[in-house]
Amino acid sequence: MSQPFHSRAIVLSRENFGEADQYVQFLTQNWGVITVLARSARKSKRRYVGGLDIFCHDDIFLRGDPRERPYLNELSVLNSFPNLRNDLEKMLAAGRAVQWIRRLADMATPMPSVYSLLGQTLAVIEKEPNPDRLELLGLLFKLKLLSSLGLKPRLEACVRCGETESREILFDITGGGAVCRKCSPRELSSLGEVLSEDDRHFLIAGDQLKLTHWDQFEFSREKSSALSRLITQFASYHTHQRLPV
Ligand SMILES: [Zn+2]
């Protein structure tokens, strides 16, 4: 008998297979995103102790190579985020985060920073009492995820001339980042969006903010949601994925 493979993991999705089984997609700490077969998952809820619901944070033990659809031997639940499940806005916010990971990071490659990001994000959503702040959290999550995957927009300097001093810049979605006034033909405002200095700095530094200091961050819901839309358009354009806003 081979020793079971073990990792911490977060449930991203699951689907029924055959009469009684389920395929479960996990973001794991050790192997990236993998799919495992949970035998009898639909018949015996007790065996997996409620740990197969989306967002559950588990310790999982596998039989077989993690990259080749192994069996789920057993699991124990670290956190099932009960307060998140009782709240529709929180469920939607958590669902969007999971969709971003499924669309952009569906790879059986170790991505410890992506794993930590999702775990932390779910924990913050679970605790956050103010639904208005979920928009800001969503924006930070997206910036951090794009940064982890090397997909961050280039906003430090104009993507065309390299100018860093310009105060007036446009976020050129198709061009991949900032374009200064000098380089923008008159019609560019139809292609991109003018960014204030505040917004630009937020987008440049947002991925460095630590979620452990989440309580100290402030940014209006309005601004967060406008920037979040912009980042979603940017990421969708460059990855050819339909991403939820
Ligand atoms: Zn320029």
Average pLDDT over residues 39-47: 86
Q: What is the pLDDT of residues 135-158, one digit of tens each?
A: 999 999 999 999 999 999 999 999
- The environment of the single-atom ion ligand 1, i.e. residues with CB closer than 5 A, is 158, 160-161, 163, 180, 183
Instruction: Determine contact, residues 58/8, Cβ cutoff 8 Å.
Output: yes
pTM of the entire predicted model: 0.94
Distance from the CA of 153 to the center of ligand 1, in angstroms? 15
10 alpha carbon – ligand 1 mean position (Å) = 43
> Domains along the chain?
5-80 (2.40.50.140)
Is the pLDDT reported for residue 185 higher than 80? no
At residue 243, the pLDDT reads: 97
Q: Please tell me the distance between residue 161's alpha carbon and the centre of ligand 1 in angstroms.
A: 4
Distances (CA, A) of 186 to 166, 182, 192: 16, 10, 11
**Which of 134, 138, 108 is CA-nearest to residue 245?**
138
Mean pLDDT of the chain: 93
pLDDT band at 188 (very low <50, low <70, confident <90, very high): low
Taking the centre of ligand 1 as the mean of its atom positions, its distance from the CA of residue 52, in whole angstroms, is 50
Q: How confident is the model at residue 49 (pLDDT cuts 50, 70, 90)?
A: confident
Q: How far is the CA of 170 from the centre of ligand 1 (A)?
A: 10
pLDDT at position 184: 80
CA distances in angstroms from 75 to 38, 84, 161, 184, listed in the order given: 10, 21, 54, 56
**What element of type H or E holds 79?**
strand 71-79
Percent of the chain with pLDDT over 90: 83
Q: Please name every residue paired with 192 in a beta bridge, in sequence order, or none if there are none.
A: 172
